[in-house]
Amino acid sequence: MDKALPELDPVIHAQARLRVVAALNVLGEGDEMAFNSLKDLLGMTAGNLSVHLTKLEEAGYVAINKTHRGRTPVTFVALTRRGRLAFEDYTRAIRTLLDNAGGV
């Protein structure tokens, strides 16, 4: 079934990025998740996750902070306020679409 969804945010709509944003949205505001942990949680390769995070960062939806724990470099990822609002709008749009279609 191919439904036209012109009003949905194309940055979030790709399934891999949708999963990234849905996972980061679970964190409280002011919290960041380690890149490697996010990679393990989503079952993605580092390269694949990096590509999607770059797209999300370019849209201003995620913030990426590179730092060190002791001498080990660690990258942390968080949803920005703009990203959180975009995800809320996206989820609302999906529910409206389903309601209008008489779906679940």
Partner 1 sequence: MDDERAPSPEETLRVIEEQSAATTRWLYGDPLLLYVPWGVAWVLGFTALFLHYGLDGRSYAPISQMQAVGVLMAAQLLAGGIAALGFVRLNKVLRGDSNARGTMFGYAWFAGFALMTVLCNRITPHLPPQESGLLWAGSSLMLVAALQMAGGAVFLNWPMFFFGAYVGAVNALGVLLGAGWHALLTAVLLGGGFIAVGVVLRRCS
Give contact residues for partner 1 (rule: CB under 8 A): 1, 3, 5, 13-16, 18-19, 22-23, 25-34, 37, 41, 48, 76, 78, 91, 94-95, 97-98, 101, 103-104
Of 25 and 54, nearer to partner 1 (C-beta) is 25
Residue 27 CA, chain-centre distance (Å), reads 11
Query: Whose Cβ is closer to partner 1: residue 42's or residue 57's?
Result: 42
- Spatial distance between the Cα atoms of 57 and 63, rounded to a whole number of angstroms: 6
Query: In this structure, what token pair is assigned to residue 57?
Result: 């960062």
- How far is residue 40 from each of residues 4, 32, 34, 83, 100, measured CA to CA in Å? 33, 15, 10, 22, 36
Instruction: Give min distance, CB of 81 to partner 1, in A.
Output: 14
Nearer to partner 1, 9 or 57 (CB): 9
- Calpha distance 59→57 (Å, rounded): 5
User: Cβ 33 to partner 1, closest distance in Å?
Assistant: 6
